[in-house]
Amino acid sequence: MKSVNAGALPGLRIVLLTLALLLPAGVGAASDSAAPFEPHQRLDVASRAHAQDVALTLDACGGAYDQELIATLLRLRVPATLFVTKRWLDRHGTAVRELRAHPELFELENHGSQHVPAVIGRRLYGMQGAPDGAGVTREIVDGAQAVLQASGHRPDWYRGAGAAYDRASLQIVTQLGYRVAGFSLNADQGATLGAAAVARRLRQAKPGEIVIAHMNRPAWGTARGFGRRPARSARSRADLRQAVPGGRGVAGARRQADAVNIDLVAEPDEALRRAIAAPLLAFNAALAGPSGHRPLALVVRGADGGVCGGLWGATAYGWLYTQMLVVPEPARGRGLGRDLMLAAEAEARGRGCTHAWVDTQFGARAFYERLGYTVFGSLPDYPPGFCRSFLQKALV
């Protein structure tokens, strides 16, 4: 292991949060009580390879840039995961370029757009929270977009202002595909402690700690606290890439082949599909905003009340997608299929949709064309001997 100077974290191996393995945490276990929930997380240090791991995280809420702190981390070769807001990024272009020059040490993650707490309709540590769920979403998505533009990579983590959340906001974070970044050791108490107090807290760090401190208040003692006690530190990030399966390398686009494993799953389930889709959905949300995805279902029931057909689809990004249209055999030729489609389109308009699309084969193309749909693409010989058609329609 390559040993470097770790400042006030003696004998511990400091890792980037993006490379760390977390213990299962109760992030989703917030109660419905009035008090916001503050996730306290720790790293999984059960294996010998990670027995001394500690993750250092630094928040840049707004305000200034603690250049002395970053210089200390550079001198000691200490890696850190940096949670930055959009408003901080907008003010510190030179600092961002300096940080990006050291991808082996620093990685930018999402601290929101304007440092608005992820609590709805209340205050947190004197800060006014979001007015509603849409406000929480804007804070997260706009912050993610700023990190993407500044760093070139989509953030994986979100830490809200004040690092506490109500139940509804936690659900929004999860739905957007991000992981909530908690902590276990507060090193500088919101950048309000002197150097001696910071160093004292850091010396209390144990393996598995996720340390939180701040890099936007240089007048306080965070930088000097980190540099106060030289000792042993972490591997470089390139070494960690092989030590932690699935970890991000020096840059996501330059992952080494042995840093990840590809497994064929014999019986994949819906939970696995959601896990695979989560980073893609988050990336899409960062670029295009929330999709507003909502399922849409219309049920046809027989005389006995049982389901015998219907329509299944969804609305997202202002479009209605009809995935399945099933008309029971005895009811065919009576206009039921048309009624189902028109009812779905009416509901989609009520949700604000302006367009609809559908894909079909086995001779149903003419049916959709009679409803005003036009072909915009086709996949011949799928299945063999048939053509799969893709059709769209303006709803307004």
* Domain membership flag for residue 4: no
pLDDT value, residue 12: 58
Shared domain for 247 and 311, answered yes or no, is no
Angstrom distance (rounded) from CA 219 to CA 26: 35
Shared domain for 241 and 304, answered yes or no, is no
Shared domain for 104 and 197, answered yes or no, is yes
Residue with tokens 């959601």: 274
Least confident span in 200-204, 212-216, 346-350, 351-355: 200-204
Shared domain for 120 and 213, answered yes or no, is yes
Shared domain for 26 and 141, answered yes or no, is yes
* Domain membership flag for residue 276: no
* Domain membership flag for residue 148: yes
pTM exceeding the 0.75 threshold for the entire prediction: no
Residue pair 85/143 in contact (Cβ under 8 Å)? The answer is yes
Indicate if the pLDDT at residue 33 is higher than 80.
no
Shared domain for 226 and 371, answered yes or no, is no
* Domain membership flag for residue 186: yes
**CATH number, domain with residue 53:** 3.20.20.370
Shared domain for 141 and 241, answered yes or no, is yes
pLDDT tens digits along 356-366: 999 998 889 99
**CATH number, domain with residue 316:** 3.40.630.30
**Which amino acid makes up residue 321?**
Y
pLDDT tens digits along 378-389: 999 998 989 999
Would you place residue 13 in the very low, low, confident or very high pLDDT band (cuts 50, 70, 90)? low
pLDDT value, residue 163: 92
Shared domain for 205 and 346, answered yes or no, is no
pLDDT tens digits along 293-312: 999 999 999 989 999 999 99
Indicate if the pLDDT at residue 255 is higher than 50.
no
Domain count, the chain: 2
Least confident span in 22-26, 89-93, 135-139, 328-332: 22-26
Closest CA to 225 of 12, 96, 55, 73: 73
* Domain membership flag for residue 335: yes
Angstrom distance (rounded) from CA 78 to CA 200: 18
* Domain membership flag for residue 3: no
Instruction: Please compute the mean of the pLDDT values over residues 159-186 and round it to a whole number.
Output: 92
pLDDT value, residue 251: 33
pLDDT value, residue 243: 29
Shared domain for 91 and 222, answered yes or no, is yes
Backbone angles phi, psi at 266, to 5 degrees: -65, -40
Question: 278: alpha, beta or left, given left = phi > 0 and alpha = psi -120 to 50?
Answer: alpha
Task: Report how far apart, in Å, the C-alpha atoms of 370 and of each of 108, 306, 363, 375, 391 are.
Answer: 52, 30, 13, 12, 12
pLDDT value, residue 310: 96
pLDDT value, residue 10: 52
pLDDT tens digits along 87-145: 999 999 999 999 999 998 999 999 999 999 999 999 998 899 999 999 999 999 999 99
Shared domain for 246 and 337, answered yes or no, is no
Shared domain for 248 and 372, answered yes or no, is no
pLDDT value, residue 140: 96
* Domain membership flag for residue 267: no
User: To the nearest whole number, what is the mean pLDDT of the chain?
Assistant: 83
Shared domain for 233 and 376, answered yes or no, is no
Q: Containing domain of residue 163, as a range?
A: 13-258
> Of 258, 276, 311, which one is at a domain's C-terminal end?
258
Residue pair 178/145 in contact (Cβ under 8 Å)? The answer is no
Would you place residue 16 in the very low, low, confident or very high pLDDT band (cuts 50, 70, 90)? low
Angstrom distance (rounded) from CA 23 to CA 54: 13
pLDDT tens digits along 207-230: 989 999 999 999 888 999 888 754
pLDDT value, residue 294: 93
